[in-house]
Amino acid sequence: MNFSELQSIVNGSGNIVFFGGAGTSTESGIPDFRSADGLYETGKGGKVPPEVMLSRDFFLEHTEEFYEFYKSRMIHRHAKPNPAHYALADLEHRGQLQAVITQNIDGLHTAAGSKNVLELHGSVHRNYCMDCRKVYTLEQILESEGVVPYCTACGGVIKPDVVLYQEFLDINLLERATTYIANADVLIVAGTSLTVQPAASLVRYFQGEHFILINKTPTPYYGAANYVIHDSIAKVMQELVK
């Protein structure tokens, strides 16, 4: 593959969309989900599988256990954006990148300076009372007394604004993401196995000419991509935006 050709494609486009998953943040020290060192594999030794721990039923019925797992395994308070996040923010600043669509809940795209970030699965940085809907920051959740954070206004349980198993994605957000992908000239997909639905199916709406896939492990969409790169996302994105 001619890498300079990819650089020319990226630098010559004014309508790029990025769709990313957990692999985008692994170089920031945040483990992914399905690799050998991912959350699901390392969590198999526990009594309750991570998929169950992160379900709505478990949150409602075992709130303290949920928060013990959530705070210890899902929150990475000191993680910083890596070069991939900054490269995408740079592309947006130049007016070339129209949207970042992410399955991640870590908020690192925003921390790197990206403005139009569609967080399909929500964000750990947003939390709300389930009774009165008062909003809380991540810091307030982590500094609350006890394992379960309660609303200071009404005493209700505070829930992270993240999409748990058994919950639906925001339909308006999905529609916006679909529109961006359908209208893009260049689609860059990185760090996602493209197996989690309905988010993964969004790439089917791409009608442009250049589909670039960056992932270390195979995905069901390898055959659909025009360019497939098995390498560090941070390294590749840095090179692509030169």
> Residues near 75 by Cβ (< 8 Å), separated by ≥ 6?
124, 138, 142
Q: How many residues does the chain have?
A: 242
The answer to whether 173 and 118 are in contact (CB under 8 A) is yes
Please confirm, yes or no, whether 78 is among the known catalytic residues.
no
**Active-site option among 121, 125, 210, 230:** 121
Distance CA 237, CA 84 (A): 5
CA atoms within 13 A of residue 137's CA, in its CB half-sphere: 4
Tell me if 160 sits within 8 A of 66, measured CB to CB.
Answer: no
Catalytic residue ranges? 121
